[in-house]
């Protein structure tokens, strides 16, 4: 299925403009495979790179891989010639974000696996949370990004990203990966993040609400929200949920953010109806 004789110089082919760091550590590769859901749903892999993880994926599941680098696409076509011919691997040489603007990444329920370039990691994860066919994500990202998505209320790193992730399902930071596991080695520690979705949640207005709530994390939630809502309404909403006016954004649970949003959105809708 795989052309194991397709050699390539990882250091020389890595391109900074694509944020490429190729995962080569076999132990980490096996850890990723072991962390995948155990079912028959196909895999969507973003950024297969040299195909070191892909070679394990195609042995157990059907895979659709998105690769933006034309040179790497040529390498992957040679390395996985048989897998492509027998339909085990579908290689799409395109910018996944452009494709995502048009439709879901899969025509059926799928699991996402990816070693994401740091500069687009957050965007990719947020898109996947909104993709109705995406059932789970298992992604390698910068540790700081993984912590923002997996943080719990009360932790300083708890953010709007954590609220959005927890609004769709269960979030877990699985394990850390040191720089030396990659070629070339990045300057930061990476982490494997897993999100198992229970539902698809997409509400642009709620996302704007969260950006306002977490705009200045060191300030109180009341102060942040008062920049977009009537201060009197904000204080009343916090009181109705037994949240003091001194509570900070990272101290409020995900479910309470949804309650706050409904209350304050209702206040605005009510005022608009009266004025109309």
Q: Are residues 40 and 151 in the same domain?
A: yes
Mean pLDDT of the chain: 89
Mean pLDDT of 192-210: 95
Q: Which two tokens stand for residue 232?
A: 């009197």
18 vs 42, higher pLDDT: 42
Domain that holds residue 146: 10-197
Q: Are residues 84 and 148 in the same domain?
A: yes
Edge-to-edge strand order for the sheet containing 110-115? 89-92, 63-66, 43-46, 110-115, 134-142, 190-197, 169-177
Q: Are residues 270 and 168 in the same domain?
A: no
- Give the closest residue to 235 by CA, choosing from 259, 209, 225, 211: 225
Q: Which two tokens stand for residue 141?
A: 């990202």
Contact criterion met (CB below 8 Å) for 149 and 165:
yes
pLDDT at 15: 42
Question: What confidence tens digit (pLDDT) does each residue in 126-136 have?
Answer: 999 999 999 99
What does the alpha-carbon distance between residue 254 and residue 276 come to, in Å, rounded to a whole number?
Answer: 33
Q: How are beta strands 43-46 and 110-115 bridged, if at all?
A: parallel
Q: Are residues 119 and 215 in the same domain?
A: no
Q: Which 3 state secondary structure label does DSSP give 21? A: coil
Mean pLDDT of 78-85: 97
Sequence-distant (6+) residues with CB within 8 A of 172 are 150, 193, 194, 195
Provide the whole-model pTM: 0.87
pLDDT at 111: 97
What does the alpha-carbon distance between residue 104 and residue 164 come to, in Å, rounded to a whole number?
Answer: 19
Residue 3 lies inside a defined structural domain of this protein: no
pLDDT tier at 240 (50, 70, 90 boundaries)?
A: very high
pLDDT at 29: 96
Q: How many domains does the chain have?
A: 2
Q: Are residues 113 and 163 in the same domain?
A: yes
Q: Which two tokens stand for residue 144?
A: 């700081």
pLDDT at 186: 85
Binding residues for S-adenosyl-L-methionine: 21, 23, 47, 67, 95, 115
Q: Are residues 221 and 187 in the same domain?
A: no
224 sits in which H/E element = helix 221-225
Binding residues: 21, 23, 47, 67, 95, 115
pLDDT at 101: 65
Burial pattern 60-84, b for ≥16 Cβ within 10 A else e, equals: ebbbbbbbbbeebbebbeebbeebb
Contact criterion met (CB below 8 Å) for 93 and 117:
no
Mean pLDDT of 166-176: 97
Evaluate if residue 56 carries a pLDDT over 90. yes
Measured in residues, the chain has a length of 276
> Exposed, middle or buried by CB within 10 Å (0-12, 13-18, 19+), for 225?
buried
Mean pLDDT of 169-186: 94
pLDDT at 213: 98
Evaluate if residue 245 carries a pLDDT over 60. yes
pLDDT at 18: 44
Q: Which two tokens stand for residue 254?
A: 């995900």
Question: Which of residues 182, 197, 212 is at a domain's end?
Answer: 197
Question: What confidence tens digit (pLDDT) does each residue in 109-123 have?
Answer: 999 999 887 788 999
Distances (CA, A) of 264 to 221, 230, 233: 13, 9, 7
pLDDT tier at 5 (50, 70, 90 boundaries)?
A: very low
Evaluate if residue 271 carries a pLDDT over 60. no
Residue 179 lies inside a defined structural domain of this protein: yes
Q: Are residues 173 and 103 in the same domain?
A: yes
Which residue is it, tokens 């500069």?
A: 119
What does the alpha-carbon distance between residue 15 and residue 5 come to, in Å, rounded to a whole number?
Answer: 23
Q: Are residues 148 and 22 in the same domain?
A: yes
Q: Which two tokens stand for residue 26?
A: 């076999």
Evaluate if residue 4 carries a pLDDT over 60. no
């Amino acid at each position: 299925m795989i052309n194991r004789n397709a050699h390539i110089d990882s250091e020389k082919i890595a391109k900074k403009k694509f944020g490429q760091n190729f995962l080569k550590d076999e132990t980490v590769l096996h850890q990723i495979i072991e962390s995948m859901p155990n079912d028959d749903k196909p895999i969507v892999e973003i950024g297969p790179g040299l195909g070191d993880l892909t070679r394990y994926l195609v042995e157990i599941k059907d895979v659709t891989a998105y690769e933006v680098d034309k040179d790497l696409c040529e390498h992957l076509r040679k390395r996985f010639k048989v897998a492509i011919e027998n339909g085990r691997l579908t290689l799409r040489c395109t910018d996944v974000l452009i494709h995502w603007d048009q439709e879901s990444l899969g025509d059926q329920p799928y699991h996402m696996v990816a070693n994401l370039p740091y500069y687009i990691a957050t965007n990719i994860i947020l898109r996947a949370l909104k993709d109705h066919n995406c059932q789970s994500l298992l992604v390698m990202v910068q540790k700081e990004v993984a912590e923002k998505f997996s943080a719990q209320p009360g932790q300083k790193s708890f953010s709007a990203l954590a609220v959005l992730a927890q609004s769709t399902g269960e979030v877990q930071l699985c394990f850390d990966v040191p720089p030396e596991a990659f070629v070339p080695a990045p300057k930061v520690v990476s982490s494997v993040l897993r999100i198992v979705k229970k539902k698809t949640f997409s509400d642009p207005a709620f996302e704007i609400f969260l950006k306002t709530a977490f705009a200045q994390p060191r300030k109180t939630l009341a102060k942040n929200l008062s920049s977009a809502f009537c201060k009197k309404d904000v204080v009343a909403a916090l009181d109705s949920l037994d949240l003091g006016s001194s509570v900070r954004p990272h101290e409020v649970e995900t479910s309470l953010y949804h309650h706050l949003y409904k209350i304050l959105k209702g206040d605005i809708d009510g005022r608009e109806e009266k004025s109309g």
